[in-house]
A = this chain, B = another copy of it.
Amino acid sequence: MTTTTQNLKIIPLGGLEEVGRNMTIFEYGDDIIIVDMGLQFPEEDMPGIDYIIPNTAYLKDKRDKIHGIIITHGHYDHIGAIPHSMKRLGNPPIYTTALTRGIILKRQDDFPEAPKLDIRQINKDSKIKLGCFNIEFFHVNHNIPDGVGLVIETPVGKIVHTGDFKFDHSPIGDEPADISRISEIANGGILALMSDSTNAEKPGHSISEKDIQDNLEIIFKESSGRIIIATFASLISRIQEVVNLAEKYDRKVAVDGYSMKMNTQIAKKLGYIKAQKGTLIKINQIKDYPNGKVVVVCTGAQGEGNAVLMRIANKEHRNIQIQKSDAVAFSSSVVPGNERTVQGLKDILWRQGARVYHYQMMDIHAGGHAQVEDLKMMINLIKPKFFIPIHGNYYMLKLHGEIAESIGIDTKNIMVAGNGNIISVNQNSIELSKEKVPANYVMVDGLGVGDVGQVVLRDRQSMAEEGMFVIITVIDSKTGKVRGEPDIISRGFVYLRESKELLNQTREKVKKIVEQTSSDEHTVNWSYVKDNIRDKIGQFLYTKTQRRPMVLPVVIEI
Spell out A's residues near B (CB within 8 Å). 17, 43-44, 47-48, 201-203, 336-337, 339-341, 343-344, 346-347, 349-351, 356, 358, 360-361, 393-395, 398, 445-448, 451-453, 455-457, 459-461, 463-468, 470, 472, 474, 483, 487, 489, 491-495, 498-499, 544-547, 550, 552, 554, 556, 558
Least Cβ–Cβ distance between A475 and chain B, in angstroms:
11
Contacts of A457 in B (CB 8 A): 492
14 A-B pairs besides A356-B395, A451-B495, A456-B493 with CB distance below 8 A are A48-B467, A48-B492, A201-B361, A337-B337, A343-B393, A344-B393, A347-B394, A350-B394, A351-B394, A447-B545, A447-B546, A452-B494, A456-B491, A468-B491
Contacts A395-B356, A491-B550, A546-B447 hold; do A464 and B461 have CB atoms under 8 A apart? yes
- Which B-chain residue is minimally distant from A546 (CB atoms)? B446
Determine how close the nearest CB of chain B comes to the CB of A303; give it in whole angstroms.
Answer: 11
Quick one: closest B residue to A463, CB to CB?
B463
Copy number in the complex reads 2
Q: Once the chains bind, are A494 and B448 in contact (CB under 8 Å)?
A: yes
Which residues in B have their C-beta under 8 angstroms from that of A468? 463, 468, 491
Subset of 5 A-B contacts with CB under 8 Å: A48-B492, A446-B545, A448-B494, A455-B495, A456-B492
The CA-CA distance from A445 to B494 in the complex, in Å, is 10
Q: Are B495 and A456 in contact (CB under 8 A)?
A: yes
Inter-chain contact B346/A393, CB cutoff 8 Å: yes
Q: Known: A453-B495, A474-B558. Is A343-B336 also a contact (CB below 8 A)? A: yes
CB distance from A302 to the nearest CB of B (A): 13
A350 to B394, CA, bound (A): 7
- Alpha-carbon distance A550/B341, docked complex (angstroms): 25
Q: Is the CB of B337 within 8 A of A547?
A: no
Nearest residue in B to A458 (C-beta to C-beta)? B492
On whether A340 and B336 interact (CB within 8 A), knowing A491-B459, A552-B489, the answer reads: yes
Contact B340 A339 (CB under 8 A): no
Residues of the B chain whose Cβ atoms lie less than 8 Å from the Cβ of A360: 201-202
Name the residue on B nearest A203 (C-beta).
Answer: B361
Residues of B within 8 A of A445 (CB): 547
How many angstroms between the C-alpha atoms of A467 and B49 in the bound complex? Answer: 11
Q: Which residues of B contact A346 (CB under 8 A)?
A: 393, 395
* Known A-B contacts A48-B466, A467-B456; A487 and B547 likewise in contact (beta carbons under 8 Å): no
